[in-house]
Amino acid sequence: MKLRLLAVALLFAGVVKAQQTDIENKVNALKQQIENLSYSFDQLTKGIEDVSWEQKMDDIAFVDKVRFSSLPSSQAKSKTSKGYNNPLTIYSYVFIPKSLDQNKKYPLMVLVHGGVHGNFGLSNIHIVKELVAQGYVVAAPEYRGSTGYGRKFQREIDYGGREIDDTKHTRDYMVKNYDFVDKNRVGVMGWSHGGMHALMNLFQFPESYAVGFAGVPVSDLIMRLGYMNDEYRKLFSADYHIGKEVHQNVKEYRKRSPAFNADKLKSPLLIHANTNDDDVLIEEVEHLISALKANNKKFDYKIYQDAPGGHHFDRIDNYESKEARLVVYKFLEKYLKPSAPFASVEAMSKAAYYPVK
C-alpha cells in the first residue's frame, strides 16, 4: 500500500513538474514575443519620426538621413565568425539650411543624442531649428546602440567605447561629402550621454573640433553606477556590453569616463550643470570640473542653481531655458562664426518658434 502511494505521489510530482516546465516555457516564449514586438514598435516609431522631421523642418532646412561605415562591432567573439571585423553601418540625420549658398563655407555642428538606448527624437526640434537659423549645418548621429533600428543594432551598444568613434565618423563623413562644410569650423555638442560624447570626442580627437559644449554630462561611470539602480547597472554588465560590473573591471569603467580623461582636453569647452538634476547628479559633474582644474585645463562652466526642469532645464521651452541656450550659442559663436548669430532671446524665439513668413 505504501509503495503504491509513493508511486502515485512520484507520478503526481512528475506531472506537476512537467506542467511547471511547460508553463515556464510558454511564459519565456511570450516574453520573447513581447521583446520582439517592442523592437518592431521602436522601428515603426522611428519611421514616423523620420517623416515628421521632414515636415517640421520643411520651411527652413533640407532634411536627409544617410548611412555610412564606422568601426567594426565590438561584440564579435570569434575571428572566424562570418563577417568578422566588417565595419558597422550607422545612420545620421543631416539638416542643411535652405538659405545655404553652396559656393560658400559653413560651420558644422555635430549634435549628439542622449540615453543609454536613446535616439535622435523630435524633442530636439527647437534646438535644431535654432542651430539651422544661425547658419549651421547639423549632423545628428544615430550611433551604435541607438533605439529604432532593430534588436541587433541596439545590442551593438558600446557605451563610452566605439560609439564615441561613431560620432567622430559622422563628423568625418560630413567633411568629406559636403564641400560647403568648413572642416576648420566643426563643433560637437550634446546633453547627458550626448554631453559625454561631446567630451570624449574633444578628448580623443582634439584636432577634429574647434569647440564643444557638454550639458549635464555623464562624467564618471563609476560614481554613476554607484547611485543608480540595479536595472540601470545591468545595461552595462550585460554579456553583449561591457560584460562585467564596476568592481570586476574598474579600469574599463575609468577608461570610458570623461573625468578620468580630463588631461587630454585641448579645445575650447563649455559645461553646464544644474544642482537639482535628478539624473546626472551634480556631484558627478563636479568631479569632472575638479579633474579639469587639477590638470590646469582652460575651460568654461556654469552651474545653475535649482533651475526648473532638472536634468532637462535648458532643453525645454521655458523662457529661462532659452536664455541658457543663448549662453551656449554665444560661446560657440566665438569659435564657429555662424553667418546669422542671435542677438537676443527674442530673435532666437522668432527663428525657432514662430511661423516662417
Q: What is the pLDDT, as a whole number, of residue 79?
A: 77
What is d(CA 351, CA 345) in angstroms, rounded to the nearest whole number? 10
Q: What is the pLDDT, as a whole number, of residue 233?
A: 94
Q: What is the pLDDT, as a whole number, of residue 328?
A: 98
Q: What is the pLDDT, as a whole number, of residue 27?
A: 67
Q: What is the pLDDT, as a whole number, of residue 11?
A: 67
The residue among 167, 195, 340, 337 whose CA lies nearest residue 269 is: 195
- 92-145 pLDDT, tens per residue? 999 999 999 999 999 999 999 999 999 999 999 999 999 999 999 999 999 999
What is d(CA 30, CA 37) in angstroms, rounded to the nearest whole number? 10
Is the per-residue pLDDT at 150 higher than 80?
Answer: yes
Q: What is the pLDDT, as a whole number, of residue 80?
A: 77
Assess contact for 105 and 89: CB atoms under 8 A: no
* Segment (H or E) for 214: strand 211-215
Q: What is the pLDDT, as a whole number, of residue 26?
A: 73
Q: Give the pairing of strands 269-274 and 300-304.
A: parallel
Query: Please, which residues have CB within 8 angstroms of residue 192's CB and are 6 or more apart in sequence?
Result: 114, 115, 215, 216, 217, 218, 279, 280, 311
Between 236 and 82, the more confident residue is 236
Return the HEC string of 14-75.
HHHHHHHHHHHHHHHHHHHHHHHHHHHHHHHHHHHHHHHHHHHHCCCEEEEEEEEEEEECCC
- 252-299 pLDDT, tens per residue? 999 999 999 999 999 999 999 999 999 999 999 999 999 999 999 999
Q: Whole-number mean pLDDT of the chain?
A: 93
pTM: 0.91
Is the per-residue pLDDT at 41 higher than 90?
Answer: no
Q: What is the pLDDT, as a whole number, of residue 84?
A: 83
C-alpha cell at 42: 521602436
String of DSSP letters for 339-357: SS--SSHHHHHHHHHSPP-
pLDDT tier, 62 (very low <50, low <70, confident <90, very high otherwise): very high
